Structure 1
Amino acid sequence: MSQSWKPLPDDLSEPARRLAEELRAVKDAHGISLAELGKRTYLSKASWERWLNGKRLITSQALAGLIAAVDCDAVLLTSLLRQAEAARGATEPAAAPPVPGPAAGPAAEPAAAATVPVPVPVAVPIPVPLPVPVPVPVPAATAGVPGWRRPPALAAVAAVAVLLVLAGLYLHGLKADTSAAAASAAGPTAPAGARPVALPAQLCQGVGCAGRDPQAMGCETDDRTLVTGTIGRVVLYVHYSARCRAAWAGITDGSPGDTATITTSTGSQETALIHWGYDNYSMMVEAASADTVLRVCGHQPEGDGCTRAVTSLVASASATSTP
């Protein structure tokens, strides 16, 4: 499925133009939207829009994420990116040497990898209770005889019986663990004749979404941008999901090291940090109450600044649309 693309900028170098055209062809060949492309590569759809329309040259990390996510000609795309970078380096003036600064704090994190591993739950074996030893009955005729001992043969039979019981329980527990793991991997099943049970529309809501990724939780499906603000060229966003009853910060047109922090009236905070590229978003904060106040503040070389406060979630969400 192809789409009608905008003309590429006239000032693109020939390698950069070919690279943008090849990236468009990969997207069209797989018939995926910008949002789906962003989810597969763990990047925002805004970044992919700029790369596919020639507004920015795609980064090597983003290209590596694309190659890992979809079937494409990795050799051709990598070669075109190197040629485009070389052409850009030949036309740009030499950059001034960086000025040494203080040691990076906790916010200065290393460049993120092209793909972020998603933790997979591991089936935990169910502990199997050990059997209580069953005493071997003592014959009534000999129970009271001083110095009586159980015959060696009877003791051996009792020991073998206990070992057989232990082995059976162990194998039963192992089989149960294996079956549980297989059932978990295959997904939920229903007994024969039972009516299908509808799964919940969202994976989290309210306080259950706090500190979690809005894309991974599916909260981006009804995302509303309640308010925006700017610091120089950098744009800050307050995102809100009525279905998940949670909010998060967004930042675009920034540079590595720029941040955007969302704060609630209860003091909860989450920060979006641009590791590399031009944009990012934060984890979510709870916004279950209609009177929750939200604000996003950013810190960039151009200075610090904040969006206006969102004081009525219901009214703001109904008056906005998905960007």
Structure 2
Amino acid sequence: MDRAGSVKDLASELLALKKASGSSFVRLSEKTHYAKSSWERWVNGKQFPPRDAVERLARLCGTDPAPLLALWAEEDARRTAPEPEEGAEPEGGEDTEPEAGTRPGPAAARKRRGALWTAVVLAVLLVAGAVSYAALSGSGEPPAAPRPKPAVKVAGPATGCTLTGCEGRDPKKMNCGADAVTVRTGSIPKDLVIELRYSRGCQAAWGRISFAQVGATVVVNNSDGAAQADVVHFDRDVYTPLIAAPDDDSVWVCAALPKNGPRSCTGRFIPSEEKAQQP
């Protein structure tokens, strides 16, 4: 199944759960602090949802979240797995399966025994030839067998930047969202939810706010004095550009309501002191 199909499969489950509960997008937004526009994208398969949103929907609708989270994890792994190369053939080739309708019998047994003896004879001839060559060359030993080639390790999803090379860039375009997790949260009661997002692959972080008003701001900071910010121009959620998050530095996010309204920040996150939990 392709990655777009993964999003659609999970979306169909979310849509069925939403319909069964009778909840509107507005109600989901009020109860979960995710924007109703975000819920519309997730439920209709336009965007892959965060794990926390899936769990909140299940609990809001009075459903055990475990089966839905298992589907989320399976499709998230499929979604972030590297694409297979075009033209690749399954291991074993096309001749690994026996022909349909073939039945074992004496003739087939004799054929297999003949093939086995042929293989044994060829092996003996190869060994004898190797020993003869060693004797003629004066080495006293058969030539060494070729060393097996080391296995090629398939890397995970490639990221577009790391550390300060990520400063000011879009986390989605740099593929930093492939392994991203929310490591700190905060809120301005009844108005706004704050998230600090962190990518171990990019060694970078960014801030995100949801359920916000137009004009609300979000700023991500690190202990080196760098900062990145953005403002809600429309809709109800927004995220900042990337900021470097070295292992021994701290990063945090602050947000404020429009017109010098209330302001709040998350706690600080130091990557070397805490291992980000994968969703």
Place the TM-score, normalised by the shorter chain, in its bin: 0.3 to 0.5
> Structure with the greater relative contact order (CA < 8 A, sep ≥ 6): 1 or 2?
2
Larger of the two Rg values belongs to structure: 1
